[in-house]
């Protein structure tokens, strides 16, 4: 597995993160096999959130990986806080309590990365800063970031938070590529020219914030996967054509498409299928040509001016 820096931190991470949102759908044996497969393929960065399974996903993961001190030092753990039932909460009290719960469920003393999970409309950046300082000073969290935030929301946090924000989780896939499309339609009177996120892609590149694409196989908002989906015949034909050229699966090509972008993104896999996880990991070694990258982009229905 290739590695790269995470943002401006001193962390060197695999180019893929293993998402654990659905690990609670596996029985104990299958969960153990899934985690071991990730480790065997160099996918040692695991993404969690306290909201996933109401915390059960973190508990299942800790058991599946047989967490102990030696295991902990061989992996990287990221989790997220801030989503509550019917609301968001970035208060100091909630952040601190949530992290303690995460650490307990994961059977660890620290997180490598903590992300704020989506924006909180009632955020008070001063409270976030106090929470981050306490977490860093206590050694409970080593690095910090956000998810689904635009440039001005990040700038507001940065006014008060002294720790670098090293990652931003954003929805991005071949079929959900508005952050890429708007950059190609500058000064055009087309729907794709609408700037919906404050140019977050360019902002993250300018500030060395690693984008972590989530739902890399989804279209819409959890409407389903585009691979082998009859709704996307042209896209799947193009992906399959390129997959044959590289002697890999269509899953591998879909991840390779994200890795080809020069922003050095770190896609988050969401599959619980062992073979698809292996296919995702193989994308680390596939480099798409510019022609193939644009061919996939256009086959998905994206346009160029």
Q: Judge whether 7 and 165 are in contact, CB under 8 Å.
A: yes
In angstroms, rounded to a whole number, what is the distance separating the alpha carbons of residues 265 and 22? 22
Q: Judge whether 248 and 227 are in contact, CB under 8 Å.
A: no
Phi and psi torsions of 233, nearest 5°: -65, -45
Task: Tally the C-alpha atoms within 13 A of residue 143's C-alpha that lie toward its C-beta.
Answer: 22
Q: Judge whether 152 and 195 are in contact, CB under 8 Å.
A: no
Q: Is 297 a catalytic residue?
A: no
Q: Which of 52, 110, 294, 297 is catalytic?
A: 52
Beta-bridge partner residues of 149: none
Alpha carbon of residue 245 to chain centroid:
28
* Catalytic positions: 52
């Amino acid at each position: 597995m290739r590695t790269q820096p995470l943002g401006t931190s001193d962390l060197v991470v695999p180019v893929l993160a293993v998402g654990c949102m659905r690990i609670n759908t596996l029985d104990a044996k299958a969960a153990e096999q899934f985690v071991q497969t990730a480790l065997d393929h160099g996918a040692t960065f695991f993404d969690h959130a306290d909201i996933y399974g109401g915390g059960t996903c973190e508990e299942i993961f800790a058991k599946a990986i047989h967490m102990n001190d030696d295991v902990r030092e061989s992996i990287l753990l990221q989790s997220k806080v801030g989503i509550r039932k019917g609301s968001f909460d970035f208060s100091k009290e909630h952040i601190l309590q949530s992290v303690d719960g995460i650490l307990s469920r994961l059977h660890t003393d620290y997180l490598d990365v903590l992300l704020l999970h989506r924006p909180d409309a009632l955020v008070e950046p001063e409270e976030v800063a106090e929470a981050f300082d306490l977490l860093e000073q206590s050694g409970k969290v080593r690095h910090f970031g956000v998810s689904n935030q635009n440039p001005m929301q990040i700038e507001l946090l940065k006014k008060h938070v002294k720790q670098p924000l090293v990652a931003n989780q954003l929805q991005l896939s071949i079929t959900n590529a508005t952050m890429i499309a708007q950059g190609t339609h500058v000064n055009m009177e087309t729907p794709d020219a609408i700037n919906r996120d404050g140019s977050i892609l360019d902002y993250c590149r300018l500030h060395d914030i690693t984008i972590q694409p989530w739902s890399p196989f989804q279209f819409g908002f959890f409407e389903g996967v585009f691979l082998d989906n009859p709704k996307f015949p042209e896209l799947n034909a193009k992906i399959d054509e390129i997959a044959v050229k590289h002697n890999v699966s269509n899953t591998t090509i879909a991840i390779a498409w994200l890795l080809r972008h020069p922003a050095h993104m770190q896609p988050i896999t969401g599959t619980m299928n062992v073979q698809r996880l292996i296919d995702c990991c193989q994308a680390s070694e596939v480099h798409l040509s510019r022609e193939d990258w644009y061919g996939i982009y256009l086959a998905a229905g994206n346009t160029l001016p």
